[in-house]
């Protein structure tokens, strides 16, 4: 608010470096939604779900790394444990979707 009318000063390199540490400025830029009409929102949503799946699987794997092996084999019989203990498809899905979206934005 104190910089209103001074937009020219904000374009200087020193101000840009200073604004990189500004909480209000960064919060506004993080939560602003700029969507291209050419973007593929459904693939971006699936990519987000895939990223969440990757993060959850890696968290579970780190958490169970110190657990008894017999207990892990016992838990592996359940469907949801199978999803979290075998995260290979989650990582592959995330990489394929990321590559597809980067290629799409590069070649459009």
6-10, 15-19, 46-50 — most confident range: 46-50
pLDDT score for 10: 64
pLDDT score for 88: 82
Q: Which two tokens stand for residue 85?
A: 């203990």
pLDDT score for 36: 73
Give the whole-angstrom CA distance, residue 99 versus residue 103. 6
Is the pLDDT confidence value at 108 over 90? Answer: no
Is the four-CA dihedral 27, 96, 36, 19 of positive or negative sign? positive
pLDDT tens digits, 78-102: 777 777 777 788 889 899 999 998 9
Q: Which two tokens stand for residue 99?
A: 């590559």
Give the whole-angstrom CA distance, residue 62 versus residue 84. 11
Average pLDDT, the chain: 81
pLDDT score for 22: 84
């Amino acid at each position: 608010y104190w910089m209103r009318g001074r937009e020219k000063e904000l374009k200087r390199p020193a101000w840009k470096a200073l604004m990189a540490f500004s909480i209000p400025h960064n919060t506004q830029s993080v939560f602003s939604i700029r969507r291209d009409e050419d973007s593929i929102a459904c693939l971006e949503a699936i990519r987000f779900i895939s990223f969440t799946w990757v993060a959850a699987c890696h968290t579970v794997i780190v958490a169970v790394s110190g657990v008894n092996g017999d207990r892990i084999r016992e838990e592996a019989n359940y469907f949801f444990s199978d999803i979290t203990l075998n995260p290979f498809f989650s990582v592959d899905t995330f990489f394929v979707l990321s590559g597809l979206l980067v290629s799409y934005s590069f070649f459009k």
